[in-house]
């Protein structure tokens, strides 16, 4: 099966207007049928599923494979070959189906224990407070650079057990990897990241700590649990899955709250509303856009349309979260919404391992920010905000604010 984008001129495209605001595009897609073929933002032809019930069902359907790199037909078009990435990175658990996925995930879940995650809360608060102290003396700051980024980066590094000082190196490589268009362009940054993590594993083997990497190394030494490649690939994934999405969620959350001053005021008056508000922010504007990628191992019927075997399928979590058949008035942010059963963290066997940690970080950072700066204000109009859509996520590149209001 060889498909060229040129053969699909007539298909809807997730173009630049999609990156700017995907929600009107989702609405049109959802209204025109349960599933469509589109040319994705990455130029790859794929099927997109946009309704909540269908997404929920397909998240637990074993015919939808996550092992893209294994199952992709070698005859596929160039665009689809980009899913063949570095051998070691392919070992991350997200790219496996059972039984490999079950084995790897068990080990990582054990290392990423609830105790270890809850124990991070005071540390998240401490990191946040230090950054807010530094913001206090500023007239105008970029919230992404000064707050939304440093907290998740430090937390991810500390919990995993890698030096936060290495951030400039791994951040650059990750940017290159996310921005790469072809498998060829992915090779160098993927190699740099896996070599870096292999080095970290070697250092940790010699001197263990109370961190996730040490716990994973321990597990890998038990017979048949985790190969070296799975250890390194899994650790790279934990680092980046952990901080990129959380930065994006905090950034979008701060922006959305600032655009809804009456709900922001309520949150300031009653911080008890915060956990629900964070869930609603994740429903309203989660970062995983356009969605998570699967491969149909067999023909799969969705609402009367058949997705043929061997197709790439995007389960659009963010479109599902705005489905009016599930969430009344879905395009309205409502921190009092009772039904918060969103799918921003996926579902089924690949449900996000870091969901609790990400939620703690978002709650602590946003809650502390709005308490500390009661006059916080956006410093630029919406037209000056730059939204970026790379690889699997969408985010605001910079969020300039006046911590003490426009009039200082």
Binding mask 18-47 for ligand HEM (x = CB under 6 A): ------------------------------
Among 80, 88, 245, 316, binds ligand HEM (CB under 6 A): 245
Instruction: Give yes or no for a contact between 332 and 23, defined as CB atoms under 8 angstroms apart.
Output: no
DSSP letters, 241-267, are: HHHHHHHHHHHHHHHHHHT-HHHHHHH
Question: Which region, judged by CB under 6 A, interacts with ligand HEM, from 27-35, 132-140, 161-169, 245-253?
Answer: 245-253
Instruction: Give yes or no for a contact between 331 and 23, defined as CB atoms under 8 angstroms apart.
Output: yes
- As a whole number of angstroms, the distance between CA 245 and CA 394 comes to 9
C-alpha angle 400-404-408 in degrees, rounded to nearest 5: 100
Among 30, 326, 350, 404, binds ligand HEM (CB under 6 A): 350
Asked whether position 105 contacts ligand HEM by CB under 6 A, the answer is yes
Strand 45-49 to 312-315 pairing: parallel
Tell which residue, 389, 112, 129, has the closest CA to residue 248. Answer: 389
Query: Smaller CB distance to ligand HEM: residue 153 or 180?
Result: 153
H/E stretch holding 65 reads strand 64-65
Q: What are 3's two structure tokens?
A: 């498909």
- As a whole number of angstroms, the distance between CA 211 and CA 100 comes to 24
Looking only at residues 74 through 103 of this chain, which bind ligand HEM when binding is defined by CB under 6 A?
93-94
Total Cβ atoms within 10 A of residue 259 = 12
Among 194, 220, 237, 368, binds ligand HEM (CB under 6 A): 237
Asked whether position 233 contacts ligand HEM by CB under 6 A, the answer is no
Instruction: Give yes or no for a contact between 44 and 117, defined as CB atoms under 8 angstroms apart.
Output: no
Asked whether position 249 contacts ligand HEM by CB under 6 A, the answer is yes
- As a whole number of angstroms, the distance between CA 187 and CA 206 comes to 29
Binding mask 50-79 for ligand HEM (x = CB under 6 A): ----------------x-------------
Asked whether position 358 contacts ligand HEM by CB under 6 A, the answer is yes
Query: Smaller CB distance to ligand HEM: residue 287 or 403?
Result: 287
Smallest gap from Cβ 96 to ligand HEM, in A, equals: 8
Asked whether position 253 contacts ligand HEM by CB under 6 A, the answer is no
DSSP state letter for 13: B
Binding mask 157-196 for ligand HEM (x = CB under 6 A): ----------------------------------------
Asked whether position 241 contacts ligand HEM by CB under 6 A, the answer is yes
Q: Give me the residue label for tokens 């491969």.
A: 295
Binding site for ligand HEM (CB under 6 A): 66, 93-94, 105, 156, 237-238, 241-242, 245-246, 249, 286-288, 292, 317, 344-346, 350, 352-354, 357-358
């Amino acid at each position: 099966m060889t498909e060229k984008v040129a053969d699909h001129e007539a298909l809807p495209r997730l173009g630049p207007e999609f990156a700017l605001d995907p929600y009107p595009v989702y609405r049109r897609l959802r209204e025109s049928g349960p599933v469509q073929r589109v040319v994705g933002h990455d130029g790859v032809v794929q099927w997109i599923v946009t309704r909540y019930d269908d997404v929920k069902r397909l998240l637990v359907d074993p015919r939808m494979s996550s092992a893209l790199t294994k199952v992709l037909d070698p005859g596929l078009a160039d665009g689809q070959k980009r899913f063949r990435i570095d051998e070691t990175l392919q070992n991350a658990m997200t790219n496996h189906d059972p039984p490999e996925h079950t084995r790897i995930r068990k080990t990582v879940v054990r290392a990423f224990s609830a105790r270890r995650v809850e124990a991070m809360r005071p540390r998240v608060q401490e990191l946040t407070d230090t950054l807010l102290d530094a913001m206090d003396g500023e007239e105008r700051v970029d919230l992404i650079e000064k707050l939304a980024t440093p907290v998740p980066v430090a937390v991810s590094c500390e919990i995993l057990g890698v030096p936060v000082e290495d951030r400039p190196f791994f951040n650059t490589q990750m940017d290159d990897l996310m921005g790469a268009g072809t498998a060829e362009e992915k090779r160098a940054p993927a190699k740099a990241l896996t070599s870096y993590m292999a080095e970290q594993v070697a250092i940790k083997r010699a001197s263990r700590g109370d961190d996730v990497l040490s716990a994973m190394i321990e597990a890998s030494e038990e017979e048949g649990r985790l190969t070296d490649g799975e250890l390194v690939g899994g650790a790279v994934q934990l680092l980046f899955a952990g901080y990129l999405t959380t930065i994006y969620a905090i950034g979008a959350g701060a922006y959305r709250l600032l655009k809804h001053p009456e709900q922001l005021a309520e949150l300031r008056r009653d911080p008890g509303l915060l956990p629900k508000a964070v869930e609603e922010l994740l429903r309203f504007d989660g970062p995983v856009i356009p969605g998570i990628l699967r491969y149909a191992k067999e023909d799969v019927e969705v609402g009367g349309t058949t997705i043929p075997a061997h197709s790439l399928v995007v389960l659009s979590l963010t479109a599902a979260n705005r489905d009016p058949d599930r969430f009344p008035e879905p395009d309205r942010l409502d921190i009092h919404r009772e039904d918060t059963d969103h799918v921003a963290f996926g579902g089924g066997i690949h449900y996000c391992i870091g969901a609790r940690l990400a939620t703690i970080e978002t709650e602590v950072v946003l809650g502390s920010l709005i308490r500390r700066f009661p006059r916080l204000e956006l410093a630029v109009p919406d037209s000056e905000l730059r939204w970026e859509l790379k690889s699997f996520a969408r985010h605001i590149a910079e969020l300039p604010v006046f911590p003490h209001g426009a009039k200082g």
